């Protein structure tokens, strides 16, 4: 044992240290609940505690280093940052390589003190060696360890706390790769879970990548203009879009970065199998280098193992760049607890506080969230909006700034004048979920991150679990549920990891508040800070684990999956069945097929039977593996029987999709397949009443107006009129499908607003889209060019104008593309196939007005277009 190790061991064994640390934790907790301790630590005791922290900073383990940082963070919460505290903080943060923390310390108290010579040399060496690719910033020690491994490993998987800055590290590495000649004519793909995260990352990359050779995109297709002008690409795609990219014959994918990689092993997430498919097909086709990034799980190497890269480099980082305090506050009993960190690492000890807190949830939020930035997690869009509105109305109005007035006006015109968000904003409150228009969501995020803004509370859904970068000083968690099930530990840690903003503060607070008496009865999530290992049946070594594979066999045989699986898990198993069929059809002896044949008792016979009964071509299965094979076969047989184009598609010029939806409903079994789970296409109540097809009129109304390029506000107005004419409205009340007579009230109008947003993003552009795409692919297989037009493409882009589609493929939003066509068409030209051919950049830039949102977006996109000589 080295001298440093002995000293660290002595610190943990010191009763005096443990007593001081106990008192510090309690003092911080008492101050947080607005009742400071009568007797805090004396100056001498603070000095002793700082000396202990200095010794711990030399420790070998993350627990040692995290405690050193925690002491600095907590002392700075209670005491003025005098010279002594600044000196210890400088020494400890330098030893930990926490340079963002050092920068924040400098902002708090001026220039940092000079350290003893040997420690100053160490700090300066880190400043030199751990700088980012552009030399502008410096990595922390943990970030640098990840960044160095990225540059030296062909296949790499890492995990770390949410606050470690995974996106920051990946973006720096990607920017360095783009400088290399090996990227010429190739693409880098960043795989993300949601379209909400696509827009955020695309905006970030466009802002940060200044290389004129690089195109940043978000769609599977790339316009000829972009292919001509740009030498390399960065594409931010969901699994579904990556699957379509692979079928469109685009440029090779040289690197694939998988963000939120834990989704691959999340058996309850119905899209985990699509993650597997997209990654497997990409690496098989292009020999792509793989990088996985995930939250703080201890075994990130499992993702490499799933794809056959056993023995490759993986790294699990436990060091934290922001310290967290955890609290449980029960307004029903008016009692509170704090959870004390200990040397054991992964477990926290609960201690009650002697203080009576407000007796309402709103009172707790207002008291503990005063003068801070606050995120409030709620489970589901409906509760999020309702709780945000109730809290907003309990607060006074705030002084309207120009930015806030602009956001209120934008929400009123782009969504609806009665939108509850407008009322909330007037009280300094907002709500945030992934189905909101990107433009509204982005402006909320920007205002929240602006320290001078009156917006200090955002009520949010699990969108933050998907990697959206929105940290806050406090995170209030009103329920331990995520959907209908309790949080998985990894998801909970991913959520609360956003408490505390690196470069703005040393600590963040996690406050679990039961919104009703049935919530947070079990505190295991709070006391356990390290998720358990990720597991996947795809690599489970236990040969007795055959349930998943036997049920995959049932899917191949056209039978029902056994009970005991969630809706998401059942969907996953069905998709894996399609993938096994696909690999078998192509004589691809994949690990997936081998594992299935090994574990399924009747696997070989079931595969043979499926091959005999299914004539769907491999290319179609590859594009739509999430649709069961028996439905694809049924659709294929229908197309072969009804070969006339007019029997398959409505006249596209009439923009009437209703007959097509009726056909899909029958062929793909929507009555069974799309009436369960969250946000079903067909409310189960209508199915039970025998009126399932009546909902198709609603979907036809939404789809028809969407592909006419109507704005969201107008579609919402149409939907209000639709429900008014129909006379009733379906919605979920406390998770239960409920039917009410429609009344043109703010409550029903806002239910419709949220429904339309969800229905466009999830129902139309995700669920209905995939059926339309599968039907079109099958039709193209049978009919060739007579199968056109492709309704799926029109749904994806929200227009029937091929020029708009080409503009969107070039980086413009749907609304910006429409504006260009309507008002600036003279500055763009298209070829005979309506593909974007040229843009008069200087003339368009000059013609655009100042201060207009869409005009600014167009300027941002064309800023990346430079005049390059034709190849």
Which one is predicted more confidently, 733 or 399?
Answer: 399
Half-sphere exposure of 221 (CA within 13 A, CB side): 14
What would you report as the CA-atom Rg of the chain, rounded to the nearest whole angstrom?
28
pLDDT value of position 851: 77
Task: Report the C-alpha gap between 26 and 352 in whole angstroms.
Answer: 10
List pLDDT tens digits, range 482-540: 887 889 888 898 888 889 887 788 999 999 999 999 899 999 999 988 788 899 999 98
Which residues, at least 6 apart from 127, have a Cβ–Cβ distance to it below 8 Å? 99, 138
**Residue 344 — very low, low, confident or very high, per pLDDT cuts 50/70/90?**
low
Task: Report the C-alpha gap between 380 and 463 in whole angstroms.
Answer: 10
622, pLDDT greater than 50: yes
Average pLDDT estimate for 678-686: 86
Mean per-residue pLDDT over the chain, rounded:
90
Going from the C-alpha of 419 to that of each of 389, 409, 738, the distances in angstroms are 11, 11, 22
Long-range contacts made by residues 783-792, C-beta under 8 angstroms, separation at least 24?
Answer: 783/639, 783/643, 783/645, 783/648, 786/645, 787/645, 787/648, 789/649, 789/652, 791/649, 791/652, 791/657, 791/660, 791/707
Cβ atoms 691, 685 nearer than 8 A: no
Average pLDDT estimate for 353-360: 86
Cβ atoms 75, 92 nearer than 8 A: no
Token reading at 186: 């190739």
Cβ atoms 509, 475 nearer than 8 A: yes
1, pLDDT greater than 70: no
Give rounded-to-5 percent helix, strand, coil for the chain. 55, 10, 35
pLDDT value of position 80: 84
pLDDT value of position 645: 63
Task: Report the C-alpha gap between 100 and 130 in whole angstroms.
Answer: 12
Token reading at 137: 């910033």
Task: Report the C-alpha gap between 90 and 264 in whole angstroms.
Answer: 41
List pLDDT tens digits, range 304-337: 999 989 888 999 998 888 899 999 999 999 999 9
List pLDDT tens digits, range 74-109: 999 998 888 889 999 999 999 999 998 998 888 887
Cβ atoms 478, 391 nearer than 8 A: no
Q: How far is CA 577 from the centre of its chain?
A: 27
**Residue 869 — very low, low, confident or very high, per pLDDT cuts 50/70/90?**
very low
Task: Report the C-alpha gap between 510 and 163 in whole angstroms.
Answer: 14
List pLDDT tens digits, range 740-778: 999 999 999 999 999 999 999 999 999 999 999 999 999
Average pLDDT estimate for 169-194: 93
List pLDDT tens digits, range 115-158: 889 888 988 999 999 999 888 899 999 999 999 999 998 899 99
Which residues, at least 6 apart from 782, have a Cβ–Cβ distance to it below 8 Å? 636, 639, 640, 643
Average pLDDT estimate for 335-340: 93
442, pLDDT greater than 50: yes
Which one is predicted more confidently, 792 or 465?
Answer: 792
Task: Report the C-alpha gap between 680 and 370 in whole angstroms.
Answer: 39
Q: How large a percentage of the chain has pLDDT more than 90?
A: 60
Task: Report the C-alpha gap between 837 and 802 in whole angstroms.
Answer: 13
């Amino acid at each position: 044992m080295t001298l440093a190790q002995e000293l660290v061991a002595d610190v943990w064994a010191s009763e005096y240290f443990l007593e001081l640390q106990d008192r510090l934790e309690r003092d911080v907790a008492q101050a947080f609940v607005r009742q400071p301790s009568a007797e805090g630590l004396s100056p001498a005791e603070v000095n002793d505690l700082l000396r202990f922290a200095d010794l711990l900073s030399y420790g070998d383990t993350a627990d040692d280093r995290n405690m050193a940082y925690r002491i600095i963070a907590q002392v700075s919460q209670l005491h003025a940052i005098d010279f002594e505290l600044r000196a210890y903080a400088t020494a400890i943060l330098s030893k930990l390589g926490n340079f963002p923390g050092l920068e924040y310390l400098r902002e708090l108290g001026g220039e940092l003190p000079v350290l003893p010579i040997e420690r100053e040399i160490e700090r300066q060496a880190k400043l030199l060696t751990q700088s980012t690719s552009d030399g502008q910033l410096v990595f922390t020690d943990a970030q640098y360890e990840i960044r160095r491994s990225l540059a030296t490993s062909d296949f790499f998987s890492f995990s770390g706390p949410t606050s470690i800055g995974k996106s920051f590290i990946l973006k720096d590495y990607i920017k360095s790769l783009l400088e290399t000649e090996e990227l010429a004519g190739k693409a880098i793909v960043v795989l993300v879970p949601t379209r909400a995260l696509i827009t955020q990352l695309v905006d970030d990359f466009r802002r940060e990548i200044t290389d004129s050779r690089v195109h940043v995109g978000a769609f599977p297709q790339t316009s000829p203009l972009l292919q001509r002008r740009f030498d390399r690409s960065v594409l931010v795609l969901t699994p579904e879009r990556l699957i379509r990219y692979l079928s469109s014959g685009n440029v090779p994918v040289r690197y694939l970065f998988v963000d939120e990689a834990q989704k691959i092993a999340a058996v309850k997430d119905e899209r985990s199998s699509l993650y597997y498919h997209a990654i497997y097909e990409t690496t098989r086709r292009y020999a792509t280098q793989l990088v996985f990034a995930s939250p703080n799980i201890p075994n990130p190497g499992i993702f490499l193992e799933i794809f056959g890269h056993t023995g490759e480099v993986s790294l699990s980082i436990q060091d934290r760049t922001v310290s967290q305090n955890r609290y449980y506050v029960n307004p029903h009993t008016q009692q509170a607890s704090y959870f004390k960190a200990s040397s054991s690492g992964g477990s926290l000890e609960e201690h009650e506080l002697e203080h009576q807190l407000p007796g309402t949830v709103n009172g707790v939020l207002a008291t503990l969230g005063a003068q801070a930035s606050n995120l409030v997690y709620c489970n589901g869009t409906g509760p999020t909006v309702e709780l945000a509105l109730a809290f907003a109305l309990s607060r006074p109005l705030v002084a309207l700034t120009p930015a806030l007035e602009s956001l209120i006006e934008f929400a009123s015109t782009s969504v609806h004048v009665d939108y509850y968000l407008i009322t909330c904003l007037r009280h300094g409150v907002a709500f945030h979920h992934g189905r909101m228009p990107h433009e509204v969501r982005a402006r909320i995020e920007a205002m929240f991150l602006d320290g001078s803004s009156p917006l200090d509370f955002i009520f949010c859904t699990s969108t933050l679990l998907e990697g959206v970068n929105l940290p806050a000083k406090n995170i209030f968690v009103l329920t331990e549920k995520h959907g209908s099930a309790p949080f998985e530990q990894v998801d909970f840690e991913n959520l609360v990891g956003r408490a505390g903003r690196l470069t703005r503060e040393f600590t963040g607070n996690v406050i679990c508040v039961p919104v009703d008496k049935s919530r947070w009865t079990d505190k295991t999530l709070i006391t356990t800070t390290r998720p358990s290992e990720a597991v996947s049946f795809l690599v489970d070594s236990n040969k007795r684990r055959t349930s998943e594979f036997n049920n995959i066999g049932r899917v191949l045989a056209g039978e029902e999956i056994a009970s005991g699986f969630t809706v998401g898990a059942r969907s996953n198993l069905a998709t894996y069945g399609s993938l096994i069929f696909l690999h078998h059809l192509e004589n691809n002896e994949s690990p997936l097929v081998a594992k299935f044949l090994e574990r399924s008792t009747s696997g070989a016979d079931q595969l043979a039977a499926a091959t005999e009964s299914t004539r769907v071509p491999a290319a179609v299965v590859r594009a739509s593996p999430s649709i069961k094979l028996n439905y694809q076969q049924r659709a294929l047989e229908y197309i072969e029987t009804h070969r006339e184009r007019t029997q398959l598609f409505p006249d596209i010029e009439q923009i009437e999709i209703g007959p097509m939806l009726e056909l899909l409903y029958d062929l793909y079994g929507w009555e069974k397949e799309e009436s369960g789970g969250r946000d079903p296409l067909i409310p189960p109540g209508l199915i039970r009443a025998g009126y399932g097809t009546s909902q198709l009129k609603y979907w036809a109304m939404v789809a028809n107006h969407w592909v006419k390029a109507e704005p969201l506000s107008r579609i919402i107005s149409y939907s209000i009129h639709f429900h008014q004419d129909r006379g009733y409205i379906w919605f979920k009340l406390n998770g239960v499908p409920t039917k009410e007579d429609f009344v043109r009230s703010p409550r029903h109008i806002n239910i419709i607003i949220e429904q339309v947003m969800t229905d466009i993003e999830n129902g139309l552009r995700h669920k209905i889209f995939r059926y339309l795409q599968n039907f079109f692919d099958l039709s193209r297989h049978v009919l060739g060019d007579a199968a056109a037009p492709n309704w799926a493409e029109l749904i994806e882009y929200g227009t029937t104008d091929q020029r708009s589609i080409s503009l969107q493929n070039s980086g413009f939003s749907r609304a910006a593309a429409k504006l260009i066509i309507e008002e600036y068409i003279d500055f763009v030209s298209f070829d005979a196939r309506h593909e974007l051919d040229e843009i008069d950049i200087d003339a368009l830039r000059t013609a655009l007005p100042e201060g207009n949102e869409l005009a600014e977006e167009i300027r941002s996109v064309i800023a990346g277009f430079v005049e390059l000589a034709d190849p």
